[in-house]
Amino acid sequence: MNRHGIATALILSVLLPRASAGVASEAAGPLTDVQLMQITLPAKDLDRSIAFYQGVLGVRLLFRVPGAAFLDAGGVRLRLERSDAHAPTGAVELYFSDPGLARAKPLADRGVRFLGPPETVQHLATTDVQLLEFTDPDGNALALMGEAPKAANPH
């Protein structure tokens, strides 16, 4: 599995439920259909991280407590925790739903530097699922992910 492997599969299963329609599902478990509530990311400089998530990305600050801040990332609470530790590379990746990657330019205008061009991670019947990666000030992996119309086939 490539470096996006498991994370991409999980995100695709949430963003694109129709892509898995017709596939036999495993037996329901205690957390079937339970919404993810919170994700925690380490932040070496909590104020700098809050400024990035709130000021650059536009994620709404909910509240602060000593050593941590809680933000609302589209209904999932994002907890930034003051820590000198670094999450292992690829251990956590946050993908923000962005159909057509329409938020890429406004983010670039606010100083976000993308790690490369959009990457197609899945081909669907009429669209491609694309991923556009960037990082936060602490190097945590972030990305925009959304469906984009298929490019015209020259053949």
Query: Which amino acid belongs to residue 135?
Result: T
Give the whole-angstrom CA distance, residue 41 versus residue 49.
10
Do 108 and 149 fall into the same domain?
A: yes
pTM value is 0.77
Would residue 71 count as lying in a domain? yes
Would residue 119 count as lying in a domain? yes
Would residue 62 count as lying in a domain? yes
**How confident is residue 26, by pLDDT bands cut at 50, 70 and 90?**
low
Do 146 and 98 fall into the same domain?
A: yes
Would residue 23 count as lying in a domain? no
For 46, the domain range is 35-82
Which pLDDT value is given to residue 152?
55
**How many domains would you assign to the chain?**
2
What is the token pair recorded at 20?
């898995």
Q: How would DSSP label each residue in 92-119? A: -EEEEE-GGGTTHHHHHHTT---SSS-E
Give the whole-angstrom CA distance, residue 119 versus residue 114.
11
**What's the CATH code of the domain at 130?**
3.10.180.10
The percentage of residues in the chain with a pLDDT greater than 90, rounded to a whole number, is 65
